[in-house]
Each structure stands twice: as C-alpha cells, then as structure tokens.
Amino acid sequence: MPSQNIKFFNPFITSKRKNDIIVTVITANDFDTWSNAQTPVLQLLIAEQGFKGKSGEILISRDEAGKTNTIIAGSSDSASFSDGSKIHDAIKNTFSEDSLKKTSFSIESNDLDKQQLERLHIGWALAIYKFSFYKKDKENKHAALCLSSNIDKKRIQTYVEGVCFIRDLVNIPANDMGPDELEAATKTLTKHHKVKLKVIKDNDLTDQNFPMIYEVGKASPRRPRLLDFTWGDEKNPKVTLVGKGVCFDTGGLDIKPSQFMLTMKKDMGGSAHVLGLAHMIMSLNLPIRLRVLIPAVENSIAGNAYRPSDIINSRKGITVEVGNTDAEGRLVLADALTYACEEKPELLIDFATLTGAARIALGYDIPAMFSNNDETAHSIQKLSATDDVDDAVWHLPLWKPYRKELDSPIADISSTGVGRAGATNAALFLQEFIDNDIEWLHMDVFSWEQNGKTGRPKGGADTGMRAIFAFLEERYGE
C-alpha cells in the first residue's frame, strides 16, 4: 500500500561518480564580465552556442576527445529555486539516459553566496521529483547532484524531504489515502522522529467530545479520527499546527459536480502541509514545543450522513446550523482548534484546502492568509516574497462587519452564512472557536499545481508551507 511505503525523498548523492562534471553558474548580470575574461576559444564557443547566461541556458565545453568536461549554466541574479530546476532540466535533456547513470554533477560559483547555492541545490532536487507509485516503469531519468561541501547539507535535504512529503501524500488517490492510511503516513513521520502518536477514533470521538469531527466522518465506512502528537522541550514556546485531513470530499448530500470532485483527493492537503512543516521543524530542531492535530475524515454519502439544515453541537459548546455539507472542513477544524486552545499555545496555525473563494480571489498559487494579529500577517507576507522563501502568501481581512452574515435564527452560528466573501466568512467562522488571547494564523491553501512548472510538476504541491517555516525560524530560531 503506497501510504505505508512513503519514504523521505532524497535524490542527492554523497560521493562523486567516476565521471563528475562541474557546473559553473553565471548570473545574467555577471555574464559580460565573465565572458570577456575567457579564452578566445571559449569565447568562440559562447558565440556559436548563443550562450547569454540566461536562466535555463547551458554551455557545454568538451575536451580534445570530445568528452564533456565542464558546463556553464545561466541563472537569474537571485539564483532562485526555479533556476536550479531549470539547470537540472537543461542538463537532463542534453545527456542520454546511459550517460546520466554514469555521471554526477557538482555546482560551483565564485559569484553566489551560500544561500544562493543552497537554493540552486534545492531547485535541482525538486525538479527530479516524480510521482511514480502506480507506474509500471518507475525509472526516473535525472541528473544526479553531489552536494557541495560548503553548504548546509542537512538543511537542503530536510527542505526537499518536507516539500516532497507533501507532494506524495496529496498525489496518492483516495482509495489508498483514507483516514487509516493518513494515520499510517503520520506514523511514518512520528516513528522517524521518535515521538508517540495518539489517535482518538470513531465512537471515542463522541465520548471525548469531538462531535463535529464525528458528524462529518460518520457516513463513511472509513472511520473518522483525530491524530495528535507532540515534540520538543516543554520549556520552549508552544506552537500548535492543525491540518484539515478530509481524505476525500464528495460534498456530502450537497454533492459536488463531477468536474470538481476530480481533485478532491487533495482535500487532505492541509494535513499534508502540517506534516511536511512538522518534519522540517523537528529535523532542524527548531526550539519550540510543537503539537500537531489532524482531524482525519472522509465526507461521504450514506443514509446516516449529516444533512444541510442539521444543527450540531461542537466541542466549544457552540451550536452550528449546517448551511452546506460541502463546507465540512471548517467543522472538523473547529473542534480541533478548540482542543488546541485548551493547551494555551503561544501560536496556533491551521492549514486547510478550505474555500474556492480564496482561489477566485488569489488564483491557484497564492494561499489566502488570515490572522488575528495584523502585524504578524504583514511580516509573513513580506517574508514570503523574498528570494530565500519564494512562496508568496497574501493577507486577507477578518472583516468583523461580515460576522453578522453568519448569524442563524435557530442556532448560535451558521456554518456558511449568506455573504459573498466566502474565504473571509470561513475564517470568521473558525475565529469563533479561537480563544481571544491566542495568536492565530489560518492558511487557506490550494495544495495543488494546476498546470505544471519547472521544478513543480502538476499535482500535489506545497503552497504556503515554506513561508510559514521561514516565519517560525525567524521568530524562534537560535
């Protein structure tokens, strides 16, 4: 079963092969200076190959026997993750498959700093990723990269592992990624980091007062549960991550149109994000007391499925009128967020593939971010656009005047309300379950690459995870 065979993706090699080729990276701004300093023979080669040092361009130099001995690769001035991916793809597409199996590559540059070199290594590795669990031919043609000695190897490997762990979890289809399998994948992570996973399952959810998690998941034979683990020194600041784990979303009795159901295996993308983020935090030993909570359910249709207009209770004691059974994610999150608040964390962050409205507002690539601390949100948005992060998020408002649109005449609150600001209304609903004295961030993410880009294949994708990790590292890192 794929979920039980997930491994942390690490495509780097630790020692150079007999045939190792150095890839020297030149930025576009430095091209003229570099080119003018080369020998007449190399300048002729530059002219013949039309090499301008642009991102994605490579210049191949050969010895007298015709064998490649050096490669010059172009890069943008920032040396971004995408530049690393483009360099990999250009080399992969130039060499035969047999040659790639015998050759390793090493990246060097006199003009780039350590952070830029690390970005190129990460981008190279992300371009290698291929989801082939179900392919008869699992061969992955790629250019093998040997990690340079003057960079942080642990950091680079962890970064790639975290991103690709998200990709794998989201890409696995729902027949192999239900609540049981999501629990198994979480155990893979917790065992790796030697922490204990606690599971509250099925009828125990009602016995232990998680009524909304149970209500959403009760119609599926794949029983609902809450996954819970903690890591780190108790003396460190408490940071809790909550991830929406709806392993498949039919929409319930408010059934989705078929074209929108095609990608609903990704509706557990929030849980994948918190697991990838947790892996990075634990691997790099960030000095926090980390807790992870994942309500894992399948929103199915059966005779006992919850209905639109039902009124259900919550762990918080707030009664909720169900406006639409396809707005199930906010219900399971609400119980988990209430539970998280009981421990009084310093910071509470949730990730969820929550609303189509966020995609209408911001498109596929940019997650919507909400917070009860505007200063924190503004700093994250600014940080997310930097070269080291390159994972833009956008702060949307928790606009209090819209709260009245969630009023219900027969319950404490409606799950959907009547307003048109769907992403904000969903966030306002969640805020009802957050204690006022707890700093909270809500990430409404897509968790999917719609079209496919260099280093970012179509399918499961991290959206916002790197931005939040950079923020946590900036706030808590030593």
Q: What is the residue extent of each domain of the chain?
A: 2-141, 157-476
Strand partners, 19: 103
Angstrom distance (rounded) from CA 240 to CA 234: 13
Catalytic residue among 244, 266, 316, 330: 330
How many residues are given for the chain? 478
The secondary structure element, H or E, covering residue 351 is strand 347-352
pLDDT of residue 2: 62
Contacts of 60 (CB under 8 A, 6+ apart): 49, 68, 70, 71, 94
Is 130 a residue of the active site?
Answer: no
The segments of the chain whose pLDDT lies below 50 read none
Q: Does domain 157-476 match CATH 3.30.160.100?
A: no
As a CATH number, domain 2-141 is 3.40.220.10
Angstrom distance (rounded) from CA 386 to CA 130: 27
pLDDT of residue 17: 87
Q: How many CB atoms lie within 10 A of CB 58?
A: 18
pLDDT of residue 5: 66
Calculate the dihedral angle through the C-alpha atoms of 15, 21, 23, 24, rounding to the nearest 10 degrees: 110
Angstrom distance (rounded) from CA 283 to CA 256: 39
Q: Residue 435 in contact with residue 341, Cβ under 8 Å?
A: yes
> Which sign, positive or negative, has the C-alpha torsion 343, 346, 352, 354?
positive
Among residues 92, 104, 184, 204, which one has the least CA distance to residue 144? 104
Reported in sequence order, the residue ranges of 245-343 that DSSP labels E, i.e. its strands, are 245-249, 289-299, 311-312, 320-321
pLDDT of residue 148: 80
Is 456 a residue of the active site?
Answer: no
